[in-house]
Amino acid sequence: MIHLKPSQTPLLLLLALSLPASALQIVDAKDGETAFAKISQKEVTRISFERGRIRKVTGNAGEFVLEKDEEKGQVFIRPTQADGTKPINIFVTSDRGTVALLLQPIDSPADTIVIREGREAGASPSRIERSGRHVHTIKNLLLALATDALPDDMEIREASRVLALWPGVRLTLQRVYLGTGIVGEKYQLTNVAKSNLTLNESDLYKSGVMAVSLEQRTLRAGETTNLFVIRERSAND
């Protein structure tokens, strides 16, 4: 369920919508940072730098098969296990630095990943932020969070950080979407108490929060739900 500040218009049928798939993934990354992308389980995925050449790829060789195109400075990668879903970690080195990629295998056709180096996060508004009305912007970002879409003009940060909320509740930050002035966060919320837990979106508001969406309000002991939070971007992000 979605809850906005009282001045906002309710967002209907959010999870019934979907974002268009793309055969090209643009990944913004800087030297020393980790970026997330998806690769085909059965087909090869091409990886290249937008400007520059791949000089070296480092990772667990038992998890993937790698082919190099020395002439064009790009590589082709395919998971060793055709039906595996375990993420693959690799380090891709160019003349400018080394980028860590977390690759999630999915059942999809061959794809292309282009790494964009040195882009300053928030240098210009993302397409989601340019979508017009304030409510429309929030809806589009919630859609991206709920469907695990990866906007190519927003910085995506993978996280696995447990945060303190209330006794009997475990809250884990999983992914962060960073735009110029807006941030989307995906959490996993688990009831670790022995009794049922009833949640209310209004209890999760704090200064700067624009919208909160809970997939499930009532959790039995041990149950988990997704929580999405849209907030204003601060100087610490």
**For 98-151, how does the pLDDT look when each residue is reduced to its tens digit (9 = 90+)?**
889 989 998 888 889 988 876 444 455 566 655 544 677 788 888 889 888 888
Task: Pick the last residue of a domain from 58, 88, 117.
Answer: 117
Range among 27-31, 178-182, 203-207 rated most confident: 178-182
How does DSSP assign 121-149, residue by residue?
TTSS--TTTTSSSHHHHHHHHHHHHHTT-
Alpha carbon 89 to its chain centroid, in Å, reads 15
> Which one is predicted more confidently, 33 or 10?
33
47 and 109 assigned to the same domain = yes
Task: Pick the last residue of a domain from 101, 117, 133.
Answer: 117
- CATH code: domain of residue 65: 2.60.40
Domain that holds residue 131: 2-19+122-232
* HEC sequence for 5-35: CCCCCCCCCHHHCCCCCCCEEEEEECCCCEE
Residue 56 lies in a domain: yes
39 and 95 assigned to the same domain = yes
Domain count, the chain: 2
186 and 106 assigned to the same domain = no
126 and 227 assigned to the same domain = yes
129 and 165 assigned to the same domain = yes
Is 57 in contact with 100 (CB distance < 8 Å)?
A: no
Give residue-wise pLDDT tens across range 76-109. 999 999 888 889 999 999 888 888 998 999 888 8
95 and 210 assigned to the same domain = no
Half-sphere exposure at residue 45, Cβ-oriented, CA atoms within 13 angstroms: 28
Q: What is the DSSP letter of 69?
A: E
Quick one: pLDDT at residue 59?
93
């790698």: which residue's tokens?
66
129 and 202 assigned to the same domain = yes
Residue 211 bridge partners (DSSP): 4, 230
Residue 228 lies in a domain: yes
Task: Pick the last residue of a domain from 56, 88, 117.
Answer: 117
105 and 152 assigned to the same domain = no
């400007």: which residue's tokens?
51
- Give the CA distances from residue 124 to residues 155, 178, 217, in Å, rounded to whole numbers and listed in that order: 12, 11, 36
Residue 61: strand, helix, or coil:
helix
Residue 26 lies in a domain: no
Is 87 in contact with 104 (CB distance < 8 Å)?
A: yes
Residue 46 bridge partners (DSSP): 76, 112
108 and 140 assigned to the same domain = no
| Dihedral of alpha carbons 93, 97, 102, 105, sign | negative
Tokens of 61: 């060789």
């700067």: which residue's tokens?
208
Evaluate if residue 22 carries a pLDDT over 60: no
221 and 132 assigned to the same domain = yes
67 and 146 assigned to the same domain = no
